[in-house]
Structure 1
Amino acid sequence: METDTTGPDFPVSENISKNLRGLENVSTFIEESIEEERIMGAVALVAKKGKIIHFESSGFADVEENKPMSLDSIFRVYSMTKPLTSVAVMILVEEGKIGLDEPISEHLSHFENVRVYSENGNHTKPLNPITARNLLTHTSGLTYGLFGNHPVDSMYLEANIPMNIRTRNKTLSHDLPNFPLTGEPGSAWVYGLSTDVLGHLVEVISGKSLGTFFSERIFEPLSMSDSSFRIKKEKKNQFTVAYEWNDDGRNIADHPETSIYGDELTWESGGAGLLCPAQDYARFCQALLDGGILNDNRILEERTVRDMTTNQLNGAIWPFYLGTAGHAATTPLGENTSFGLGFRINEKEDNECLNGSAGSYNWLGYATTMFQIDPQKELIMIGLTQKFPTDHSFIEGFKRSVYKGIL
């Protein structure tokens, strides 16, 4: 792909078709990662004060076919879907269609009889009902089954709850109350299927599928034209191959020609289902950075974005680490961090160039994708590759390369 190294100003909202290599630290880090075969390819985008200062595709979208990565390559962003679902919920909150602190059972009656886990098997009624705020902050007591060693995690895994990609939001939402909560709602941050329940909540309240709501209220206003839950036939050529690294080496985990994200997909997962290119996601981030607006198209009020990106844990236990099923917690969430309404927040200036300024917020995706928004520096960074399991060292290295590059 042709590369510009200087070039004019490129607003985040305008399409770019040529590589813009503005941060050598970032280019070098990604090139070395590809040479070492830690990843096969990546797209990196960095914007400052609303202008893209670095936008580069590197390596391969499909190694076997020798197909290069491109700026418009479409990625499975997994849990980077969660912030969009959180925004969708807050749109409904602003419209007065749901209250943050009202029981979700007022809209999802199947949650009326949830119980809290007890070792003796006599699971008890929670002291407080699950609210939308609990779901947004991951303090609902719902889990994934994949990231902890609580007995309820084992129940989820035995029932194949987190792995059933052929489910639907409604089906999953109705299944979850059949399992006890890991703890009292509001008591602790537990990463789980809370945001998928929010996806169903959006569908029930709006009367539309989550994909339709996203399209009408987020994608169209922000010109996120290549974002969807299913890969469009005319966009298949942009879709990357997803790779898995295991003891046997590197394998193809999902291929565009046989992808689970085709027309037959039934689950528009609010927690992990989005397909998206880098610049589409950058437009979403820029709208948040600018207080809920992009190109005069407002999706949220500024005060709502401010609430979403400040600590909302309210005394709930926030772990510094996540684990994997049945194992000790080793994945860093970060000291001096907290959680808002859909975002991890850095509470203290990070002098090691990892979490950035106080008030910066971020999240990541299972296939080694990440974004970070740093309001103090008016900075957005997006790093997308397709590697299972999540390579946290790549994500941390990418963030450091960006911060060192702009110093």
Structure 2
Amino acid sequence: MTTNHSLGIDADRLALLPAAIEADVRSDRIDGAVILVARDGEIVLHEAIGFADRAASKPMQQDSVFVTMSIFKQMVAAAVLQRIDRGEISFTTQVREVIPEYAANGKGATTVGDLLLHKAGLPLGAPGIPPELVGDLEAVVAVVCAMVPQAVPGTSIAYAAVVGHAVLAEMVRRLDGGHRSFGGILKQDLMEPLGMTDTSLGFGLREDQVDRAVPVVVKDHGPALLDPHILEGVGKKAAVPGFEVPSGSAYTTAYDWFRFAEACRQGGQLDGVRILSPAVLRFARTIATGDLTNSLWDYAQNMRGWPAIRADLGPGFYVRGSGITPHAFGLLSSPETFGGLGAGSNCFWVDPARQLTYVFLSAGLLEDSYSWERHQRYADLVQSSVID
């Protein structure tokens, strides 16, 4: 047994993680992945496994560039948290106070907290939004403002994959004065301060990133939460400058995302640069949904025989919580473990009790319930490697 005594990590046990991913690549469940595990800020595992593009026999690299999918919602939340930190808005601020037209059709009482917790009664997809306008933030928000909510805002949880975080992004943009794009705000206020040199939203791919870009390919074309063709289309359009879907069309690398996650683990600062206060981060990663379930997983109860699963959302992050039900952050993780997930693909989490930071970015999207279980298996392998 090989042990990193200073960090309390059993290296032989941790090696089971890349071995498990390699097995999934060999069985063609996924095409490849980049993983990064750190304890107390020190990287103990950073590997590229399998293919960035299986069809082209292109190997994965540690600095491969991925479309973020929905882990980017946590970056959008961070921009909102910055505005709360500055006293410009609060979790209880009604959206109409910043976007007056949002009050239409019974949405007037919707709060910032409702949007962050997926309690705004908004749809899973993007109905009524023409495909050519999906990457136009102002056009998308105009359509959302005219929507009739599917439920009374604040009363139930229904995951909004696209539109909810578009509204949050537009709130940030308007609070900023409307002169910078939302992607520009993130670049200057979050990414550059954190040294995230390969992460961007709405700027397309740089010349030095083109050869490192991982295409979005859906492995499962059966029943799914989101249309595979839409997901693959977003992957292609993300490379075009000006295409801006705040819920998930950004680019990043595993190391870049580690820097964001690590800043969250360290209470909002990294390398002497502070992006958020410890207080707002503590609140953002505290479960605020009680016993409510997330209707996102209703289909899995029927299709997979799953039990009802508590949403366990904080106003900024998914949270592990407790109980024995499927969970992407693993059943061995501490209850306060927090992070984010991307459609059939990416996952990151921070276990503050054990000082663990984990990033997983993958090529080849799985159906979401199977992806959720895959993440659970990988997370538990990481936790099993901790021996102090």
Q: Larger deviation: 225-234 or 278-287?
A: 225-234
Q: Secondary structure at the match of 1:42?
A: strand
Equivalent position to 1:279, from 243, 246, 255: 255
Cα deviations across residues 302-361 of structure 1 (Å, max 9, x unaligned)? 011000000223x58333752469x95769798466111121112237799536101111
Equivalent position to 2:158, from 175, 180, 190: 190
Equivalent position to 1:216, from 185, 188, 205: 188
Residues in 2 aligned to 1:191 and 1:351: alpha-carbon distance in whole angstroms: 19
Q: Secondary structure at the match of 2:218?
A: strand
Q: Secondary structure at the match of 2:341?
A: strand
Equivalent position to 1:299, from 258, 261, 275: 275
Distance 1:371 1:220, change over 3 A: same
| 8 Å CA contact retained: 1:243, 1:254 | yes
Per the alignment, residue 354 of structure 1 pairs with: 331
Distance 1:75 1:21, change over 3 A: farther
Q: Secondary structure at the match of 1:138?
A: coil
Per the alignment, residue 338 of structure 1 pairs with: 312
| 8 Å CA contact retained: 2:66, 2:214 | yes
Q: What are the equivalent positions in structure 2 for 1:58-77 lying under 5 Å apart? A: 58-77=49-68
Equivalent position to 2:297, from 308, 322, 327: 322
Whether 1:369 aligns to 2:339 is no
Distance 1:365 1:247, change over 3 A: closer
Q: Larger deviation: 94-103 or 193-202?
A: 94-103
Residues in 2 aligned to 1:85 and 1:220: alpha-carbon distance in whole angstroms: 15
Q: Detail structure 1 runs of 4+ shifted over 6 Å in the superposition.
A: 5-10, 331-334, 349-352
RMSD: 3.3
Q: What are the equivalent positions in structure 2 for 1:88-167 lying under 5 Å apart? A: 88-115=79-106, 129-145=109-125, 157=127, 159-160=128-129, 166-167=134-135
The structure in which a higher percent of residues are strand is: 1
Cα deviations across residues 17-61 of structure 1 (Å, max 9, x unaligned)? xxx998211111011111111111111111111111111001111
**Aligned-pair identity (%):** 23
Cα deviations across residues 46-82 of structure 1 (Å, max 9, x unaligned)? 1111111111001111223322101101111211010
| 8 Å CA contact retained: 1:75, 1:276 | yes
Residues in 2 aligned to 1:75 and 1:334: alpha-carbon distance in whole angstroms: 32
Alpha-carbon shift at residue 387 of structure 1 (Å)? 2.2
| 8 Å CA contact retained: 2:36, 2:360 | yes
Q: What are the equivalent positions in structure 2 for 1:383-402 lying under 5 Å apart? A: 383-388=360-365, 389-390=367-368, 391-402=371-382
Q: Secondary structure at the match of 2:219?
A: strand
Alpha-carbon shift at residue 160 of structure 1 (Å)? 4.9
Distance 1:58 1:136, change over 3 A: same
| 8 Å CA contact retained: 2:158, 2:295 | no
Residues in 2 aligned to 1:224 and 1:332: alpha-carbon distance in whole angstroms: 38
Residues in 1 aligned to 2:240 and 2:54: alpha-carbon distance in whole angstroms: 25
| 8 Å CA contact retained: 1:60, 1:66 | yes
| 8 Å CA contact retained: 1:383, 1:398 | no
The structure in which a higher percent of residues are helix is: 2
Distance 1:164 1:346, change over 3 A: farther
Q: What are the equivalent positions in structure 2 for 1:225-304 lying under 5 Å apart? A: 225-229=197-201, 230-246=204-220, 254=232, 259-266=236-243, 268-304=244-280
Q: What TM-score results when the alignment is normalised by the length of structure 2?
A: 0.84
Per the alignment, residue 120 of structure 1 pairs with: none
Q: What TM-score results when the alignment is normalised by the length of structure 1?
A: 0.81
Whether 1:175 aligns to 2:159 is no
Q: Which residue identity does 1:359 align to in structure 2?
A: E
Residues in 1 aligned to 2:143 and 2:198: alpha-carbon distance in whole angstroms: 32
Q: Which ranges of structure 1 fall in alignment gaps of 5 or more residues?
A: 11-19, 116-125, 146-155
Distance 1:243 1:286, change over 3 A: same
Distance 1:68 1:404, change over 3 A: same
Per the alignment, residue 87 of structure 1 pairs with: 78
Distance 1:311 1:233, change over 3 A: same
When the two structures are aligned, how many residues end up with a matched partner?
Answer: 366
